[in-house]
């Protein structure tokens, strides 16, 4: 007898999620008011110890965000999934629980900057409704520009104000006192999601969101909130409206991705950074060319494992809650050209830059020269997006020039589709592309242009291959991790898919046991202090 599928929960009445959320916020406010009154007026009333502990967990601690790779997050997420499951028949209550947990998650990272996130939600919601109600092209364009100015204005103030001020002061030989600004976590990611929503409305690719709860859910949803992927409203809002529960297959796939993400982050990225890569980049002149090359190779796989590990966990956590995001990485170091690399690396950001900067600039529709300029400007914007440093701008310019150069010589650069059966030529293409990308990663990680010059000089003029045996002996574990990570990356995708399918076929108890064992080993290898994800600062 074939089991009947579990029916989807009934749709919540309009506004029910907001009512539940308002009630929850009122309860929190009443609790906080009573606690503050007791503290301020020195009353005899004291909170029970368990409530005091809950208050400490809820409090914002500077420099200690709630990270996916922390034990506290794992415990809280297990408790949250229990609440989420209990609310499965009350869609409005379930949405309110997710929004509340997402705001708590962001509060632990940025405290009162939660109000900026909420302000963006309300502004977008109002601008979107206005966009849907007007047919005037001038008015619609003004609404888009209002959204862009708000988001770009925030980015300029929080990320680039001090950099611009210091640069201007150095040019004019004046004094500049930098402002004590704290960058709101994930501001670049939710700003890009906000702008893409308004631009898609302007292009009539989607209808405005009529439910404030739905839009609040979309913009505050915690898995991609701090470091991506850059999820678009057109992809997520229909899933929110559908309200479909997570299937067993989705939960199994989500657990598998969370395990993969933890292994990439803790065992590969964190260990390489703390025990080898940082030492090389801090003092490149002290090491031979071979050691510098290994440092660049180590950082290249480190940043991939760090960022793709976060993406794996974000996508996995979303799957466990019933939402499916697109892949954010697709084996980028198998690319056979720079253009292919940017189709495989940080796919959500590179596609965002293509759709909302490169194409509006004219793309490849205005001749070759203009295309090369558009590519360079787009990648400069992508470089500056990464942070307030001229090194990121230099990295963006390098990649823009690389893409433009590839477009110029593409006729002489064999395309992947022409390489079937020509493994040697494919390997040559991959090797050349990887060398160019690793040179860019050196620019990305180096502290100053002088450090880039030192590392390049060491690699090209002081390679010293005779140090290889002693290096392997001294850094045996580092060598094994770097080699193992690269080999795993180059394995055919079918092996990963097959492993995930075998994991999904296991009983739930076996999956939970594997997850517990993985967490145990990760805790044993983890450093004493939690290492934040690299892209959390962007």
Residues involved in catalysis: 386
Place of tokens 């940017």: 342
Q: 3-class SS at 166?
A: helix
Burial class (CB in 10 A: 0-12, 13-18, 19+), 121: buried
Show the beta-strand stretches assigned E in 352-399.
Answer: none
Residues 6+ apart with CB under 8 A from 17: 91, 92, 93, 95, 96, 99, 211, 213, 217
Helix 114-133 × helix 91-110 angle, to 10°: 130
Rounded to whole angstroms, how far apart are CA atoms 255 and 522?
Answer: 15
Rounded to whole angstroms, how far apart are CA atoms 16 and 299?
Answer: 48
Rounded to whole angstroms, how far apart are CA atoms 306 and 206?
Answer: 33
Instruction: Compute the residue count for the chain.
Output: 538
* DSSP string covering 447-507: SSHHHHHHHHHHHHH---GGGHHHHHHHTHHHHHHHHHHHHHHHS-HHHHHHHHHHHHHS-
Kindly report the number of other CB atoms within 10 A of residue 371's CB atom.
Answer: 20
């Amino acid at each position: 007898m074939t089991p009947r599928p579990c029916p989807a929960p009934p749709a919540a009445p309009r506004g029910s999620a907001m009512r539940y959320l308002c009630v929850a916020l009122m309860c929190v406010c009443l609790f906080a008011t009573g606690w503050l009154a007791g503290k301020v007026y020195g009353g005899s009333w004291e909170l029970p110890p368990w409530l005091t502990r809950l208050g400490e967990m809820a409090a914002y601690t500077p420099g200690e965000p709630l990270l996916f790779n922390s034990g506290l997050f794992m415990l809280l997420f297990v408790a949250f999934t229990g609440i989420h499951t209990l609310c499965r028949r009350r869609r409005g209550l379930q949405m309110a629980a997710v929004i509340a947990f997402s705001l708590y998650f962001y509060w632990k990272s940025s405290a009162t900057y939660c109000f900026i996130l909420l302000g963006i939600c309300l502004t977008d919601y109002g601008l979107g409704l206005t966009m849907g109600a007007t047919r005037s092209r001038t008015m619609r364009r003004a609404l888009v520009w209002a959204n862009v100015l708000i988001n770009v204005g925030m980015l300029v103030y929080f990320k680039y104000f001090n950099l611009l001020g210091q640069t201007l002061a150095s040019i004019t030989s004046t004094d500049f006192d930098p402002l004590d600004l704290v960058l709101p976590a994930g501001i670049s990611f939710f700003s890009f999601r906000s702008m893409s929503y308004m631009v898609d409305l302007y292009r009539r690719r989607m209808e405005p969101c009529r439910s404030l709860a739905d839009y609040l859910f979309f913009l505050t949803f915690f898995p991609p909130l701090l470091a991506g992927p850059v999820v678009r409203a057109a992809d997520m809002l229909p899933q929110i409206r559908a309200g479909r529960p997570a299937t067993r297959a989705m939960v199994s796939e989500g657990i598998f991705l969370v395990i993969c993400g933890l292994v990439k982050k803790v065992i590969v990225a964190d260990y390489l950074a703390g025990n080898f890569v940082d030492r090389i980049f801090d003092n490149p002149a002290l090491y031979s060319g071979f050691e510098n090359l290994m440092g660049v190779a180590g950082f290249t796989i480190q940043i991939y494992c760090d960022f793709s590990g976060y993406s794996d966990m974000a996508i996995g956590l979303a799957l466990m809650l019933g939402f499916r995001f697109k892949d954010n990485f697709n084996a980028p170091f198998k690319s056979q050209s720079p253009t292919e690399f940017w189709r495989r690396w940080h796919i959500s950001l590179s596609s965002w830059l293509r759709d909302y900067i490169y194409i509006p600039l004219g793309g490849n529709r205005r001749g070759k020269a203009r295309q090369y300029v558009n590519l360079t400007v787009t990648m400069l914007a992508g470089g500056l997006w990464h942070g307030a440093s001229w090194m990121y701008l230099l990295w963006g310019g390098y990649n823009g020039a690389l893409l433009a150069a590839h477009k110029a010589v593409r006729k002489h650069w064999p395309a992947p589709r022409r390489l079937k059966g020509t493994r040697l030529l494919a390997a040559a293409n991959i090797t050349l592309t990887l060398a160019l990308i690793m040179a860019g990663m050196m620019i990305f990680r180096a502290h100053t242009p002088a450090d880039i010059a030192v590392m390049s000089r060491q690699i090209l003029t002081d390679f010293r291959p005779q140090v290889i045996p002693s290096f392997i002996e001294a850094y045996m574990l580092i060598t094994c991790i770097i080699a193992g990570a690269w080999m795993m990356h180059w394995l055919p995708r079918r092996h990963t898919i097959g492993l995930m399918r075998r994991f999904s076929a296991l009983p739930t108890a076996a999956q939970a046991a594997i997850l517990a064992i993985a967490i145990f080993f990760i805790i044993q290898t983890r450093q004493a202090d939690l290492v934040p994800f690299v892209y959390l600062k962007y």
